[in-house]
DNA sequence: GATGAATGAGCTTTCATTCAT
DNA sequence: TATGAATGAAAGCTCATTCAT
């Protein structure tokens, strides 16, 4: 019964996280009480506090998990063998497609990061954050580093070849991840329709913005 | 004191709006109860409901006011006599500087727009929204139209001269207003430092993104 | 300007009472705040407290007025010259028709009398109340005495002739005024339809109930 | 304690209903805030909303329960074996005695039914309501039907024997249940004193009112 | 691990009443 | 007389968290 318990325990925890994700995406952070998470996940009100210290802890755990999985997925698709410019394009498309495929997660990120005093944890937006995380071995573990390393490395390589304009890292982040995630959210919400051709154009526009 | 009252349209109402703005900027929407707004504005709990129907109404009124004043300010600085490309640059800088000069308002906008089901009211982001507002004489009155007309007109003029890439309006909006506002918010929060030279570079990068 | 002021003063007071009557009839006592009475009567919130000490006082004044007018109207139609049994019948019909013609007033009475600790003031229902009022020169003045005298007198005369069963006064009241008012309310609400013939039958049934 | 819980269906819920009943009987609906119910029942403010959706729901539940128990009690005492006229008398006395034995419940009913727009739910007063309930299998379940069936059946039987005057059902209801409940309420409030002999007289008077 | 009844502080909102004008 | 902005206590209700079972 060892293995089964292991599985069951994760399943309850998983159900809670999943319910929180869905409900926050549907109703927003403010309108997602614990009782609702409890109902949707079919977990009792009490047991949630066995898995998480508090609502804040539950939300933070979910946030970390989403960030980690997104990093992993994007890093996994990254091929350092490709030519530099091509690498940028495919990284941009990776981000866009990941965001498009995970609309609930994207809404959650936006909700969570809009809490004042939380963005400090670690934002998606600034490359500098990632660079710093990288340098100070950030506490969230090696998984997040994958994406950070990829991006930071790519920017460094492009800089080394003098292919980039002289722009602050944050600005570059805004023109790449920022624009990609925002447009993906709009796509997911049906506010924009972008086919594969249009997408390549947009990726190209991003490149034009930052390329020397 | 007759005339004075007429002019200032109730300083109590103003104090309430100002308190709400500050507190939401400081603590976030979730952590700004009416009792706090009441205390900060030195207004009784009850009188707020004399001026606003509900908390939602207060927040919506504040949102509209911020959007309106921002539109006015940006449109006021717009000079249609300048050459086209120069016009784009100065419009972009107007937006950025306005956002930078009004950090509390920017935090409030971010907070307010992160409520699910509210962004639909009218977002800054898509040019299409503005075009539509323009066409259907949007309900928020002529003040908002100023900004919409300016931007829509500029994009139309640039398109007419074949100066723009073939990109959806939303994408253009993201590369212009989107990036400007986001970077301004980061500047205001002290997350990025951008001097005048760097700023011109960023404006130029935006232009590169959308220019043919 | 003397006379005009007299008129105007009564008009404002009248408007307030009338608004209170309508609103209580429409929404019930619980859902009739002073602000609503103020709006409907086009009187400011403050001025109401010039005419009435409190909400309770306003309501009590309205109650007294309704009771007084009802007494007057019913007593006015009473003809002590008619034969005894005929007198009973026409008194019963007077009550019924008055109630039918004043549905708002009837609802108000029901609302007001349902407040615990208020029915003591003076109820419509018990003949004994009226008898007592009569004996102790009740404080509400001579107008209410009219009805009390009429009813009490009629019962006394009927008793003297040994035409009534040996029933407590309250029971007789219930079979006469009680049933009349209740059926009138139902008629006004459209719950029963009673033509003149049916009405005479009901009056007769009342008589059968109390007659020896 | 399993089985016991099943049986008593939460003593907390019971305590809340009981507290509400007492307080409304003592102070009236308007002057019975939830905080008072909470204090009297020794339940926290929050738990009430675990058992009832709202104050309205709590009140409606209490109303239904009182009506249901009253129906059950009266129907239980009814003996269809007795002769017709005797049946009427004993039914009338059942109603009266039940009302007399449950003064708090009677005050509550009067309070609750005085709310505009609530009486429609289901009134005691009209026999027609009961007839309709009977025909359309009313939603409150079989318990209420007991009383409805009893009364409707009795009136039908009396009519079949041509023992009743030609009066609308509502009028008959007013002369029977209406008078019984009203007098019982007055008795309970100490406004009338009726001994067993007087009571039989009143029941007889009711019969005289409706009998041919 | 698991339940869900219970808590109580705190939320938004209402409303009788007052008071400066 | 008359106004209506202002007050503040109190209302109904929510919800993160605890705890006996």
Domain definitions of chain A by residue range: 1-52, 64-210
Given 3.30.470.10, 3.40.50.720, 1.10.357.10, 1.10.10.10, which CATH number is that of D67-210?
Answer: 1.10.357.10
pLDDT in tens, B86-130: 998 899 999 899 988 999 998 899 899 888 776 554 444 344 444
Residue B150 predicted with pLDDT over 70: yes
pLDDT band per the 50, 70, 90 thresholds, residue C3: low
Are D171 and C178 an interchain contact pair (Cβ–Cβ within 8 Å)? Answer: no
**Angle, nearest 10°, between helix axes B103-113 and B11-27?**
70
The pLDDT confidence band at residue D138, using thresholds 50, 70 and 90, is very low
User: What local confidence, expressed as pLDDT, does residue B181 receive?
Assistant: 85
Query: Does the pLDDT at position B46 exceed 90?
Result: yes
Compute the distance between CA of residue D165 and CA of residue D208 in angstroms, rounded to an integer.
Answer: 10
Q: CA B97, C1' E13: Å apart?
A: 39
Q: If you average pLDDT over residues B169-191, what whole number do you get? A: 86
Nearest-angstrom CA–CA distance, D80 and D153: 10
Q: Does the pLDDT value for residue D134 go beyond 60?
A: no
State how far the alpha carbon of B151 is from the alpha carbons of A87, A136, B124, B211, in Å: 34, 43, 11, 15
**pLDDT, average across residues D9-16:** 92
- The bases of strand F with some atom under 7 A from any protein CB are 1-21
Q: Per CATH, which fold does C1-52 belong to?
A: Arc Repressor Mutant, subunit A (1.10.10)
Which residues are within 8 A (CB) of A184 and not within 5 positions of it... i.e. 6 or more apart? A95, A96, A97, A98, A99, A100, A106
Average pLDDT value for residue range D167-174: 88
pLDDT confidence of A98, banded at 50, 70, 90? Answer: very high
pLDDT at B62 over 90: yes
Q: pLDDT per residue over C154-200, tens digit each?
A: 888 999 999 999 998 889 888 988 899 889 988 887 888 899 999 99
- What CATH code would you report for B66-210? 1.10.357.10
Average pLDDT over residues A139-165: 74
pLDDT of residue B132: 45
pLDDT digits (tens, 9 = 90+) for C26-62: 999 989 999 999 999 999 999 999 999 999 999 999 9
pLDDT at D207: 94
Residue pLDDT, tens place only, A38-74: 999 999 999 999 999 999 999 999 999 998 899 889 8
CB D181, CB C179: distance < 8 Å: no
Counted residue by residue, chain A has a size of 212
Half-sphere exposure of A76 (CA within 13 A, CB side): 8
C27 touches strand E (CB under 7 A): no
Q: What pLDDT, on the 0 to 100 scale, is given for residue A128?
A: 43
**pLDDT over 50 (residue D13):** yes
Among A175-184, C2-11, C144-153, D10-19, the range with the most confident prediction by mean pLDDT is D10-19
Near-strand F residues (CB closer than 7 A): A 31-35, 45-46, 48-49, 54-56; B 10, 12, 42-47, 50-51; C 5, 8-9, 12, 42-47, 50; D 1, 32-36, 45-46, 49, 54-56
Closest partner CB to B205 (pick from A30, A191, A210): A210
Tell me if C205 and D209 make a contact (CB, 8 A cut-off): yes
* B205/A110 touch (CB, cutoff 8 Å), yes or no: no
Q: What percent of chain C has pLDDT over 90?
A: 50
In chain D, helix, strand, coil percent, each to 5? 75, 0, 25
One DSSP character per residue, chain A reads: -HHHHHHHHHHHHHHHHHHHHHHHHHH-STT--HHHHHHHHT--HHHHHHH-SSHHHHHHHHHHHHHHHHHHHHHHT--TTS-HHHHHHHHHHHHHHHHHH-HHHHHHHHHHHTSTTTGGG--SS-HHHHHHHHHTT-TT-HHHHHHHHHHHHHHHHHHHTT-B-S--HHHHHIIIIIHHHHHHHHHHTTS----HHHHHHHHHHHHHHHB-
What is the percentage of chain A residues whose pLDDT exceeds 70? 80
Length of chain B: 212
The alpha carbon torsion through D31, D33, D36, D41 (nearest 10 deg) reads: 120
Q: How many CB atoms lie within 10 A of CB B36?
A: 16
Inform me whether the pLDDT recorded for B6 exceeds 80: no
Find the distance separating the first CA and the last CA of chain C, reported in whole Å: 61
The confidence score (pLDDT) of residue C156 equals 87
CB-count exposure of residue B197 (10 Å: 0-12, 13-18, 19+):
exposed
- Which of left, alpha, beta for A141 (phi over 0: left; psi -120 to 50: alpha)? left
Banded model confidence at residue D23, pLDDT cuts 50, 70, 90: very high
Residue B153 CA to residue B163 CA, distance in Å, equals 14
Provide mean pLDDT across the span D34-57: 97
How high is the pLDDT of residue C131?
40
Distance, CA of C131 to CA of C146 (rounded, Å): 11
pLDDT, position C42: 97
CA angle A89, A95, A98 (to 5 degrees): 135
Better pLDDT: D149 or D164: D164
Architecture of the domain made up of C64-210: Orthogonal Bundle (1.10)
Across chain B, mean pLDDT equals: 83
What residues of B are in the A interface, CB distance below 8 Å? 25-30, 107, 110-111, 114-117, 125-126, 165-168, 170-171, 174-175, 178-179, 182-183, 186, 191-194, 198, 201-202, 205-206, 208-211
pLDDT at C127 over 60: no
Asked if C52 and C45 count as a contact pair (C-beta separation under 8 A), the reply is no
């Amino acid at each position: 019964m060892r293995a089964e318990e292991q599985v069951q325990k994760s399943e309850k925890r998983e159900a809670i996280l999943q319910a929180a994700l869905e409900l926050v995406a549907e109703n927003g952070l403010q309108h997602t009480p614990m009782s609702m998470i409890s109902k949707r996940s079919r977990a009792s009100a009490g047991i949630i506090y066995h898995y998480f210290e508090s609502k804040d802890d539950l939300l933070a755990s979910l946030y970390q998990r989403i960030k980690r999985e997104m990093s992993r997925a994007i890093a996994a698709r990254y091929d350092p063998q490709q030519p530099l410019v091509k690498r940028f394009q495919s990284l941009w498309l990776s981000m866009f497609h990941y965001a498009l495929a995970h609309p609930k997660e994207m809404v959650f990120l936006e909700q969570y990061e809009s809490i004042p005093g939380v963005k400090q944890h670690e934002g998606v937006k600034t490359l500098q954050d990632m660079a710093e995380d990288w340098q100070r071995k950030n506490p969230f573990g090696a998984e997040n580093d994958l994406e950070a390393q990829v991006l930071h490395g790519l920017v460094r390589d492009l800089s080394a070849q003098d292919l980039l304009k002289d722009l602050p890292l944050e600005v570059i982040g805004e023109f790449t991840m920022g624009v990609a995630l925002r447009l993906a959210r709009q796509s997911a919400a049906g506010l924009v329709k972008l086919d594969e051709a249009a997408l390549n154009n947009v990726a190209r526009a991003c490149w034009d913005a930052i390329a020397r």
